[in-house]
Amino acid sequence: MAALDSDPENLFLTLTANGLCEGLRVIARVHDPDSTRKFQNAGASRVVSPISTGASQIARLITRPSVVDLVELVTKDKSIALQVFEHPVGEESDMLDKSLAEARVRQILGGMVIAIKHLDGHTTFDPGSDTRIRLGDTLVAIRQPETEE
């Protein structure tokens, strides 16, 4: 993680880290959102701009306050526990080449599929029950974690 005081320091750290370890996942903070492309070219896996993030949050509060309220409730209220998890679909899967409904995914995984990441890098969000499950897909689902009693 590159989160030093200035963009030049974070850029140097990103370049150095990638030079020392090829394929390293680097998350870099930028103060100037216009520098994002430089960091990506330097090998940053993710670039975070607190200024852009804050501006987006304000826009969401204006346009979709109920959604923001729900997300804040789920992330801040410790009594509401939700788990987001991934389930890769391999050759041996009983779900292969079935629709979400036919595969009984909700019953098998104990959660609701909110997205499917495909091998080609495309992601289908909020897939319908008739969406077919293909080899190499990764089901992204949400559920309440099991409680031990």
Q: Which domains does the chain have, with CATH numbers?
A: 7-48 (no CATH), 83-143 (3.30.70.1450)
The pTM assigned to this predicted structure is: 0.53
pLDDT in tens, 78-136: 666 677 889 999 999 999 999 999 999 989 998 889 999 999 989 999 999 999 999 99
Tell me, what DSSP letter sits at residue 58?
A: H
| 7 has a pLDDT exceeding 50 | yes
CB 43 within 8 A of CB 32: no
Q: For tokens 């050759």, what's the residue?
A: 91
Nearest to 93 by CA among 138, 50, 30, 146: 138
pLDDT surpassing 80 at residue 67:
no
Question: What confidence category does residue 21 fall into, taking pLDDT thresholds of 50, 70 and 90?
Answer: confident
Structure tokens at 20: 């020392």
Q: For 31-131, where are the alpha helices, taking DSSP H only?
A: 36-41, 50-63, 65-76, 105-109
